[in-house]
Chains A and B, each alone.
Chain A
Amino acid sequence: MRERFLSGYNDFVLPFMIGMVFILSYCLVGMIRIILQLPKDDRKKFFLSLVTPSIILKNIKDIFLDCLIHVKLWKRNKLLGYMHSSIAFGWFMLIVIGHIEVFLYTPNRAKLFYYPIFFRYFVAETEHTMKGAFFFFLMDFFLLVVLSGIVLAMIKRLRSRFFGMRRTTNPSFLDLVGLYSLWAIFPLRLLAEGFTADISGGSFLTKSLNWVFHSFLGDHVNMLPTWWAYSCALGVFFIVLPFTRYMHIPTEILLIPLRNVGLTIRNARKGFAKAQVYSCPNCGLCIDACPMGVLKANIRDTTVYLNRQIRRNNEARIEEISDKCLLCGKCSVVCQVGIHGDQLRIAQRSIRKYNISPDYSNIDEKVLLNGCNKFVKQPNSNVLLSDSEKVMYFAGCMTALTPSIRKSLLSLLDKAGVDYEMMDRDGGLCCGRPMWMAGRFDQARQMVEKNSAIIRDSGANVLLLSCPICYKIFKERYHLEGIEVIHHTEYLERLVRQGRLDVMKSGTSFVYHDPCELGRGCGVYEQPRSVISGLGKLVEARSSGPESICCGGSLGSLTLGFDKRKMMTENALENLTAENPDVIVTACPLCLNTFDRYADRPVKDIAEVLDNQTTKK
Chain B
Amino acid sequence: MMDFGFRISPSSAVNMDDVDFELFERLCEIEPDARKCMACGSCSATCPASAFSGMSLRKVLHCLQRGKEKEAVRMLRNCMLCGKCTMVCPRGINTRHLILSICKIYKED
Say whether A associates with B: yes
| Contact, CB under 8 Å: B100 / A438 | yes
Given contacts A352-B104, A353-B104, A438-B100, contact A358 B79 (CB under 8 A): yes
- A143-163 interface mask toward B, CB cutoff 8 Å, 1 = contact, 0 = none? 000000000000000000000
Q: How long is the Cα–Cα vector from A356 to B106 in the complex, in angstroms?
A: 7
Nearest-neighbor residue (CB-CB) of B55 within chain A: A358
Which label, helix, strand, loop or mixed, suits the secondary structure of the B interface? helix
Counting CB contacts under 8 A, is A293 at the interface? no
CB distance from B102 to the nearest CB of A (A): 7
| Contact, CB under 8 Å: B103 / A354 | yes
Q: How long is the Cα–Cα vector from A560 to B10 in the complex, in angstroms?
A: 43
Interface residue count on the A side (C-beta < 8 Å):
36
Q: How long is the Cα–Cα vector from A400 to B53 in the complex, in angstroms?
A: 19
Given contacts A427-B51, A435-B80, A438-B81, contact A355 B96 (CB under 8 A): no
Counting CB contacts under 8 A, is A410 at the interface? no
Given contacts A352-B104, A362-B53, contact A401 B46 (CB under 8 A): yes
Q: How long is the Cα–Cα vector from A559 to B31 in the complex, in angstroms?
A: 10
Given contacts A363-B52, A401-B87, A558-B100, contact A358 B80 (CB under 8 A): yes
Counting CB contacts under 8 A, is A459 at the interface? no
Segment 42-56 of B: residues with Cβ below 8 Å from A: 46, 48, 51-53
| Contact, CB under 8 Å: B94 / A561 | yes
Interface residue count on the B side (C-beta < 8 Å):
32
| Contact, CB under 8 Å: A355 / B104 | yes
Q: How long is the Cα–Cα vector from A359 to B49 in the complex, in angstroms?
A: 11
CB distance from A403 to the nearest CB of B (A): 13
Which label, helix, strand, loop or mixed, suits the secondary structure of the A interface? loop
CB distance from A114 to the nearest CB of B (A): 55
Q: How long is the Cα–Cα vector from A362 to B93 in the complex, in angstroms?
A: 29
Counting CB contacts under 8 A, is B88 at the interface? yes
Q: How long is the Cα–Cα vector from A354 to B94 in the complex, in angstroms?
A: 18
Name B78's contact: one of A360, A561, A590 (CB within 8 Å). A360
| Contact, CB under 8 Å: A561 / B33 | yes
| Contact, CB under 8 Å: B88 / A429 | no
| Contact, CB under 8 Å: A401 / B88 | yes
Q: How long is the Cα–Cα vector from A359 to B53 in the complex, in angstroms?
A: 11
CB neighbours (8 Å) of B53 from chain A are: 362-363
Name B84's contact: one of A354, A400, A563 (CB within 8 Å). A400
Name B82's contact: one of A323, A357, A363, A434 (CB within 8 Å). A434
CB distance from A468 to the nearest CB of B (A): 14
Counting CB contacts under 8 A, is A397 at the interface? yes
Counting CB contacts under 8 A, is A406 at the interface? no
Q: How long is the Cα–Cα vector from A363 to B77 in the complex, in angstroms?
A: 12
Counting CB contacts under 8 A, is B67 at the interface? no
CB neighbours (8 Å) of A359 from chain B are: 77
Q: How long is the Cα–Cα vector from A356 to B105 in the complex, in angstroms?
A: 9
Name B96's contact: one of A397, A398, A438 (CB within 8 Å). A438
Q: How long is the Cα–Cα vector from A434 to B97 in the complex, in angstroms?
A: 12
CB distance from A94 to the nearest CB of B (A): 53
| Contact, CB under 8 Å: A430 / B82 | yes
| Contact, CB under 8 Å: A555 / B108 | no
Counting CB contacts under 8 A, is B76 at the interface? yes
Counting CB contacts under 8 A, is B7 at the interface? no
| Contact, CB under 8 Å: B83 / A356 | no
Counting CB contacts under 8 A, is B64 at the interface? no
CB neighbours (8 Å) of A440 from chain B are: 81
Q: Which of B51, B81, B97, B102 has the most CB of A within 10 A?
A: B81
CB neighbours (8 Å) of B61 from chain A are: none
CB neighbours (8 Å) of B92 from chain A are: 561-563
Q: How long is the Cα–Cα vector from A561 to B32 in the complex, in angstroms?
A: 11
| Contact, CB under 8 Å: A435 / B81 | yes
Counting CB contacts under 8 A, is A132 at the interface? no
Counting CB contacts under 8 A, is A593 at the interface? yes
Name B80's contact: one of A323, A354, A447, A558 (CB within 8 Å). A447
CB neighbours (8 Å) of A428 from chain B are: 48
Counting CB contacts under 8 A, is B27 at the interface? no
Q: How long is the Cα–Cα vector from A120 to B9 in the complex, in angstroms?
A: 97
CB neighbours (8 Å) of B46 from chain A are: 400-401
| Contact, CB under 8 Å: A358 / B48 | no
| Contact, CB under 8 Å: A355 / B80 | no
- A558-600 interface mask toward B, CB cutoff 8 Å, 1 = contact, 0 = none? 1111110000000000000000000000000010010000000
Given A360-B78, A427-B51; 17 other pairs, CB 8 A cutoff = A354-B103, A358-B81, A359-B77, A397-B48, A397-B82, A397-B84, A398-B83, A398-B87, A427-B48, A430-B48, A430-B80, A434-B83, A558-B94, A561-B33, A561-B92, A562-B93, A562-B94
A-B contact pairs, 15 of them (CB 8 A): A355-B105, A356-B108, A357-B77, A357-B103, A358-B76, A358-B79, A363-B53, A401-B84, A427-B51, A429-B48, A432-B80, A434-B80, A434-B83, A435-B82, A555-B83
Interface residues of B (CB under 8 A from A): 33, 46, 48, 51-53, 73, 76-84, 86-88, 92-94, 96-97, 100, 102-108
Interface residues of A (CB under 8 A from B): 323, 352-360, 362-363, 397-398, 400-401, 427-430, 432, 434-435, 438, 440, 443, 447, 555, 558-563, 590, 593
Report the 3 A-B pairs with minimum CB-CB distance, sorted nearest first.
Answer: A562-B92, A430-B82, A430-B80
